[in-house]
Chain A
């Protein structure tokens, strides 16, 4: 009996997608059969439309990266305000196939992982003499297509510049003006001086709308120009 033509091709299943604490999405697939040809690659594609095309946010796993018949991929920097769909695919020497489609879970941060929880719309500033002051946010405005400025009632302002337009996730401060995707540059401005916030502080971003974010900065450090440092923690929403 002639072999079923579909037996020559692989078969793949999209098992699950789950939210990671930092707001990224992990997806898992399984190779159900390799077909008659050598299996070369498997992976995922993701889109806001049903039945994502293979070229849409393609994530590739080589067969050397498989865990048995399972394979994984991690999607970062997704827009938390959008609904995504993901499906797996696999290719062998005869061609490619798609697996089933599943929806991506709602994207948000696991706030239990946040290192601090300042009051909403506040700036908690500790000066080099360990004196703590708390101010409110006056306004937030965009300053470029990659950032915004938050101005507080004590006349301090913070200029945030991201490597690309932010999404829900955890970023790390970087004290140079050229930042890559997972980092943010913060310029601390007071009436007398401006300094870059030191590298390494965590910035928690939750996307609320297309251009609205809830931002928390935990224990960032910035020099005061006299050998000492300010420490600050803040939360605000931008832009307003």
Chain B
């Protein structure tokens, strides 16, 4: 477990470092593009039991021209989620000699945000006229911030608690891209996140569906 935690932490830092380097060295590249995306994040599994669907925002730099087979992307991702209930039932289990004792309690969430840097690599699967279909896979690493209150009868009361925790994960994307103009592409995207805290104590899987826009600093020669 300790080895896994160490690897997770290193991945998170590596993603952040690569993002910074990419920003420094590629913004002037002829093939550089920037983009912005808004998507609807749908939490899955136990994550979905606690939090509602929420908008997620991404701002990124990408390399690879419009006709290229391989595209790469580095970006920043942020989302803010609201709990599905005002109060969630929660419990602790004690194990005295007489057998298990279930101690009831509750937890309320005041705030939950996720912010991450990511890097992914994709390939243009199909191109028909101005439409393209791209698939990509990547890594992400960041921090989630949780503010909560919880209480268990006779045992624990925690008000105004907050915690910041590192997380890492994989992301897979499928884009339907449309070349709107020489410099601008619009796209529809389907994405899946598989993320976990670096101590592996909780996972935050989600699906996203959203719209994005890419701006190419330099149009293709054939389009000038």
B102 touching A91, Cβ below 8 Å: yes
Tell me the complex Cα distance, A87–B103, Å.
16
Instruction: In the A-B complex, list the 9 residue pairs whose CB atoms are closest, starting with the nearest.
Output: A95-B89, A8-B49, A54-B104, A5-B84, A96-B89, A94-B49, A96-B91, A60-B100, A91-B91
The answer to whether A99 has its CB under 8 Å from any CB of chain B is no
Q: Please give the distance in Å from A12's CB to the nearest CB on chain B.
A: 13
Q: A5-B85, A97-B89 are in contact. Are A36 and B103 (CB under 8 A)?
A: no
Q: Is the CB of A53 within 8 A of B100?
A: no
Residues of A near B102 (CB, < 8 A) are 41, 43, 54, 58, 60, 89, 91, 96
B99 at interface, CB cutoff 8 A: yes
User: Which chain B residue lies CB-closest to A43?
Assistant: B102
- A binding-site residues for B, Cβ under 8 Å: 2-3, 5, 8-9, 36-37, 40-41, 43, 53-55, 58, 60, 62, 89, 91, 93-97
Q: Which of B85-140 contact A (CB under 8 A)?
A: 85, 88-91, 93, 99-104
| Contact across chains for B88 and A95 when beta carbons are under 8 A apart | yes
Q: In B47-103, which residues have CB < 8 Å from any A CB? A: 48-49, 52-53, 84-85, 88-91, 93, 99-103
Contact with A along B149-173 (1 / 0, CB 8 A): 0000110000000000000000000
Distance (whole angstroms) from the CB of B205 to the closest CB of chain A: 13
Whether A62 lies near B89 (C-beta < 8 A) is: no
The number of chain B residues touching the other chain, given as a range, is 20 to 34
Residues of chain B with a CB closer than 8 A to A36's CB: 45-46, 49
Q: Does B214 contact A (CB under 8 A)?
A: no
B153 and A53 within 8 A (CB): yes
List of A residues within 8 angstroms of B52 by Cβ: 2
CB pair B49–A55 under 8 Å, yes or no, is no
Whole-angstrom CA separation of A8 from B49 in the bound complex: 6
| Min CB gap A43→B, angstroms | 7
When distances are taken between beta carbons in the complex, the residues of chain B under 8 Å from A94 are 46, 49, 88
Q: Which residues of B contact A91 (CB under 8 A)?
A: 91, 102
Q: How far is the CB of A99 from chain B (nearest CB, A)?
A: 13
CA distance A9 to B84 in the complex (A): 13
Shortest distance between the CB of B54 and any CB in chain A (Å): 11
Cα–Cα distance between A43 and B101 once the two chains are bound (Å): 10
B16 within 8 A of A: no
* Chain B positions 29 through 42: 1 when the CB is less than 8 Å from some CB of chain A, otherwise 0: 00000000000001
Given A93-B46, A94-B49, answer yes or no on A55-B90 (Cβ-Cβ < 8 Å).
no
A2 and B49 in contact (CB under 8 A), knowing A54-B104, A55-B154? Answer: no
Partner of A5, one of B42, B49, B100, B101: B49
Which residues does chain B contribute within 8 Å of A54, judged by CB atoms?
Answer: 102-104
Residue picked from B52, B102, B153, most chain A C-beta under 10 Å: B102
